[in-house]
Amino acid sequence: MTKPISTLLILGAGGDLAARLLLPALGQLLTAHPDRRVQLIGAGREEFSPAEWLARLTTSFALGEGAGAAVENVLETTEYHTSDLADPAELERLIALCSGVPAIYFALPPAIAAGVCDALADVALPDGTQLALEKPFGVDEQGAIALNARLARLVPEDQIHRVDHFLGRSTVLNLVGLRFANRIFEPLWSNIHIERVDVVYDEQLGLEGRAGYYDRAGAMVDMIQSHLLQVLAVLAMEPPSSLDSADLRDAKGIVLRATRLRGGSPTRSSRRGRYTAGTVDGKSVPAYLDEKGVLAANDTETLAEVTFEIDNWRWAGVPFTLRSGKALAERRREIAITFKPVPHLPVGLSGLPGPTVLRIFLGPDEMAIDLNLNGPGDPHTLDRVRLAASFGPGQLLAYGEVLEGVLDGDPALSVRADTAVQCWRIVAPILAAWRAGKVPLEDYPAGTDGPAEWKKLG
């Protein structure tokens, strides 16, 4: 049984990730579980006096509406240390300050996190120590293998949390519940009845000052390689026997091992675009190449669309298209599952609007199904009707669900080592073709749906 986590040690606690996401989520988690007691230690290269650190923490907790006994306990006992996180002696000193079993959260850029892992190899970690890292996990397939090897020298795999906040507990359970708690869906969930699956994550936001990371990653690595392939895995996996970490991650891993670029052709099955100057929701947006910190030589895409296939009995022949982009006309976070047309429409009915489409919306989590029903007036004419329902809000913010898994020592919703490697393997031929200029980088004005000739998915 996993030992209870007593201390949360955040490396990089002075950065934006901690202030904007981790600490507000911790405050919300502790508010929801007032009996939980956690020692919080922050560390990083930034300098904070005790008063400044407390003020920073109080402000972040307020963002998550943190209150109650557990929050007050953290505020009374927390400490911050300015540290060189690449120095094994400094890391050993920080870990010695932890009471009981620690969870170490790497709120750090990937390159720095890898260096910290190397430094930790010279430090004796308490039994049960949990490690949590942000994506991307490596920069390619070999990089992911190397990072996994670094981590394996530190703790066992089931104590490593490769964080994908995009698939928080509520979202995963909503998808699992919809599929496996309703007999009406699962018998239809295959290539016999489903024509295609589209996963779309379009944002109205532009670069928003993230050039340091995004201009080296682009839409493919930032969203499709990491988050959207995980969504595909949950959508397409076989029914797990339980929600235990082993069963859930095994089911996802099996799907991803069978996933590959459709037809093996990056030129036919992938597209990329980059926004030019335009207007989004009434706000002027500069061209991506004019954004601060962007290097034209990086040839970075801000819109990516790729079609994959899953080579197994259930899904052979069904295209899975994943798309994500920035500075687009509308915010659209949707899974569209399009069913095959009816094999025969009885003579006498007319006006068939199209196939049945099941839509699952992410954030807020909702669902709708577009059906063909006899409309008002002439009963021989079919109209389109949408039936909608809400999954209801989750109890916690996405990062609150992440931290809950880390502090409970439950890696069920984190990315397993082999899965991280598979995601890089899947996109490798696409990235190689793009770097070689074999797939054109098409322009689209900010505030539009993308390049004019691209068909709207779903």
Q: State how far Cα 316 lies from the chain centre.
A: 26
Residue 81 is a catalytic residue: no
Name residues whose C-beta falls within 8 Å of residue 411's C-beta, 6 or more positions apart in sequence. 158, 159, 160, 161, 245, 249, 405
CA distance 345 to 214: 49
| Structure-token match 């409309």, residue found | 375
CB-based contact 306:261 (threshold 8 Å): yes
158-176: string of b/e by CB count within 10 Å (b at 16+)?
Answer: bbbbbbbbbbbbbbbbbbb
CA distance 98 to 124: 13
According to DSSP, the residues that pair with 196 across neighbouring strands are: 338
The CA–CA distances, whole Å, from 52 to 49, 57, 69, 79, 448 equal 5, 9, 22, 11, 44
**Active-site hit among 161, 227, 344, 380:** 227
Cα 158 to Cα 170: distance, rounded to the nearest angstrom: 21
CA 267 vs. chain centroid, Å, equals 26
- List, in order, residues 6 or more apart from 255 with CB less than 8 Å away: 232, 233, 236, 237, 238, 310, 312
- b or e along 257-266 (b: 16 or more beta carbons within 10 Å of the residue's beta carbon)? bbbbbbeeeb
Distance in angstroms (rounded) separating the CA atoms of residues 262 and 364: 30
Q: Is 1 exposed, middle or buried (0-12, 13-18, 19+ CB in 10 A)?
A: exposed
Tokens of 28: 């919300």
Specify whether the CB–CB gap between 65 and 434 falls below 8 A: no
Q: Which residues are catalytic?
A: 227
